[in-house]
Amino acid sequence: MRCIKTYIILVLLLSCSLSVSAREVYNLNRDWKFFTNNDLSSDASAQVNLPHTWNNDALSGKSDYFRGVGNYLKKIDIPENWKGKRIFLRLYGSNAVTYVMANGRLAGVHAGGNSAFTVELTDLLHYGKENNLWVLVNNSPRLDVLPTGGEQNFYGGIYRNVELIVTNPFSVSPLWEGGDGVSIRPDKISDERVEGKVLLRLLPAQSVPENARVSVRFYDNNSQLVAQTSRIVTSLNPDSSTITLPFAISKPALWNGLEAPNLYNTEVKLTLADSLTSDSIVIRTGFRTVSIDPQQGFLLNGRPYPIRGVVAHRDRLMVGPAVSPFQIEEDLNIIREMGATAVRVAGGQHSDYFYSLCDEFGILVWNDSPLQGAAYFTDNDYIHTDHFRDNGRQQLSEMICQLENHPSVVMWGIFSDLSCRGDDPIPYVRELDSLARALDPSRMTVASSNQDGDINFITNLIVFNQSLGWRQGMPSDIKIWSEQIHKNWPQLRVGVSYSAGGSIYQQDEELVRPKILSNWHPEGWQTYFHEEYLKSLQSDSLFWGIFVGNMFDFGSAANHWGDDKGTNDHGLVTFDRKDRKDAYYLYKANWNRSEPFVYITEKRNDSRTNRRQTIRVYSNQEEVELFVNNRSEGSQKGENGIFIWKDVNMRGGINRLEARSGYATDQTSINIDAGSASQRREALHNRQDQ
């Protein structure tokens, strides 16, 4: 949920006296001093702005990248007239264990690098004086903080925003599971009416101001008031204070995915005598139903909705997880251009801004918890200790409480590719699944699995991570696997996810499955892999959804194979987002019908040996015509967005190709040069054995 807040950049924080009548929120991203424990003291500190990670070494593929303690220091001036207020510090993401100190005294500790958390500073501050903030972040390997397995980098740093929150004593609590303290929970949703309740967690208090009132108003996209409710508050529990207000909206505009992502602004206001505002917060939300039907698949608001999904990690080249709002928007626009309707956020939750944009764009979200399987035999994905289990419950609860008001989030991921060697994780998985259903009965639970067994029958939905034709077998084997699922497990609510590596810098005219642990991952095999999967799965009624992994290459410092060490190259788009691989346009041809385009594949394989070539084009049009050296090779009708011209005669030297369909066109050139191409291929193939 994204609140409407007043952001003030504090260069010299609050050096003058301010009067705060209600909630004020100050952005603290600028001007921190940073040093690691290897530096021994702050004398070696550098000035940094947040978001920040210290692991540029991981981004460069250094497998023993620094995992230790980073120190962030900042001085802030606190006005004298803030006495009587309550002061909080909220960190939206720091990995993995964070200690917050104010003036040398511990304010709070948080274990987990995915979710936001808030600590109270009220009693630790010097009012009317300068104060010292000290945030220690530790990304050292821990066996009691999830995730303990996985291929992705475990970046250290404060890689999301930090805010100072100032409230009156009578306010909505910012301490509730790191969220905003407001839960909007619809019980009944239809085209005619939405009914539900709003849960407000207020700051605990010994007494309540006289004539204190809590009110909630709902405004539609046109800023029209469509519902309101309020109540008088006479007492609060000193330990916990939850206020419940019922609401109803007639003739609601439902959130309907890409077609109509309708949203409402929910204004929560706490007032005192004479209507003085004690606190005010605005939550953006929407209303929809989601379900699975055995015959119709995924249903959004009771109607079939295609789940054309992608898997997205949260880092990118140069910045790791410390991504900017612009970069988040760029990623989602790349996903939208391809025509995807859903995204799985792998490994834990993303920035809140990501979900707010998904709300606005109409993209459905499956959000993973950090309980994920071992990528390597040295990983320990499930540790049978109380501390491990407590941390998993904590992070799952935080994820749900922080994201539950986002209509784009339609399912909670409980685990991903969890191994069952060693201690049996199934009882713990059942416990997490029950917790998720209890916290949020309105959403389904889901998991990604790469094995058979009872673990697949716990969550509401299961998605099999199946990549035949990459680690073993051939891509066409996916058809055989699908038939076995139809035959043996027709009762399962099954989705499928798959991926294969590919480098835009490695091209070959031969189509041979590469060795996974080699440095040779040619793009052409990845393209072929995705063609076979799309043809086999796109019209298969058994699967309620498919999730292509991955949308983007991501950082994996322990990965020493493929073209770029330290990068998992399974993405449809490169780590720096500069290049879309050929397979990206295959999905665009099948999923994006609104933007006419044609795309000639294998452009990067621009120096070849054979004069007779097969030319492939991807397009979302019915018919495409190919021209070679201004000579028409005729028109073709495509299948699954694929158009093929076989035995096209090329001349020696440069050949110019153009594909046309109406106003949509694409061009490229191919050099037929037997000598240079064969030499290049021989050199590249030598890397296969390195």
pLDDT tens for 363-374 read: 999 999 999 998
Report residue 14's pLDDT band, with 50, 70 and 90 as the boundaries. very low
- pLDDT the model gives residue 668: 98
Asked whether residue 238 carries a pLDDT value surpassing 80, the answer given is: no
Share of the chain above pLDDT 70, in %: 94
Q: Are residues 585 and 611 in the same domain?
A: no
Which of 531, 561, 591 terminates a domain? The answer is 591
Asked if residue 319 is part of any domain, the answer here is no
Shared domain for 42 and 96, answered yes or no, is: yes
Same-domain status, 29 and 163: yes
Q: Are residues 113 and 157 in the same domain?
A: yes
DSSP state of 211: T
Q: Is residue 521 assigned to a domain?
A: yes
Asked if the structure places residue 678 within a domain, the reply is yes
3-state secondary structure of 358: helix
Q: Which residue, of 285, 320, 348, is where some domain finishes? A: 285
The CATH number of whichever domain residue 197 belongs to comes to 2.60.40.10
Whether 575 and 679 map to the same domain: the answer is no
* Cis status of the peptide bond prior to 610, with omega within 30 of 0: no
With helix as H, strand as E and coil as C, how does 632-645 read?
A: EEEEEECECCEEEE
Is residue 269 domain-resident? yes
Tell me, what CATH number does 473's domain have? Answer: 3.20.20.80
Is the same domain home to 671 and 627? yes
The reported pLDDT for the residue numbered 43 is 87
- Return the CA Rg of the chain: 27
Tell me which residue range forms the domain holding 214: 182-285
CA–CA distance, 53 with 661 (Å, rounded to integer): 46
Banded model confidence at residue 3, pLDDT cuts 50, 70, 90: very low
Q: Are residues 158 and 105 in the same domain?
A: yes
Q: Domain check: are 251 and 213 in the same one?
A: yes
Q: What is the pLDDT of residue 415?
A: 97
Query: Is residue 249 in a domain?
Result: yes
Supply the CATH number for residue 161's domain.
Answer: 2.60.120.260
This prediction has a pTM of: 0.94
| pLDDT tens per residue across span 110-130 | 999 999 999 999 999 999 999
Say whether both 145 and 264 belong to one domain: no
Final residue belonging to a domain, choices 137, 167, 197: 167
Band (489; pLDDT cuts 50, 70, 90)? confident
Round to whole Å and give the CA distance between 440 and 402: 12
Examine the domain organization and report whether 141 and 241 are in the same domain. Answer: no
d(CA 175, CA 181): 7
Q: Would residue 439 count as lying in a domain?
A: no
Q: What is the mean pLDDT of residues 41-60?
A: 94
User: Does a structural domain hold residue 645?
Assistant: yes
The C-alpha atoms of residue 507 and residue 684 are separated, in whole angstroms, by: 9
Any idea which of 57-66, 327-336, 566-575, 675-684 has the lowest mean pLDDT?
675-684
Tell me the per-residue pLDDT of 426-450, one tens digit each, with 9 for 90 and over.
999 999 999 999 999 999 999 999 9
> Bridge partners of 110?
98
Indicate if 100 and 227 belong to the same structural domain.
no
Q: Across the chain, what does the average pLDDT equal?
A: 92
Q: Would you say residue 580 has pLDDT above 70?
A: yes
Q: Say whether pLDDT at 612 is over 50.
A: yes
The 10 Å Cβ neighbour count of residue 30 is 15
Number of independent structural domains in the chain? 4
pLDDT value of residue 685: 56
pLDDT band at 104 (very low <50, low <70, confident <90, very high): very high
Of 2-6, 53-57, 537-541, 593-597, the one with minimum mean pLDDT is 2-6
Say if residue 488's pLDDT is above 90. Answer: no
Q: Is 418 helix (H, G, I), strand (E, B) or coil?
A: coil
User: Does one domain contain both 30 and 151?
Assistant: yes
Token pair in block for residue 14: 């609050």
d(CA 41, CA 63): 26
Give pLDDT, residue 591.
97
pLDDT at 6 over 70: no
Structural domain contains residue 55: yes
- Tell me the mean pLDDT in the region 604-624: 97
Does the pLDDT value for residue 18 go beyond 60?
no
Lowest mean pLDDT across 322-326, 440-444, 679-683:
679-683
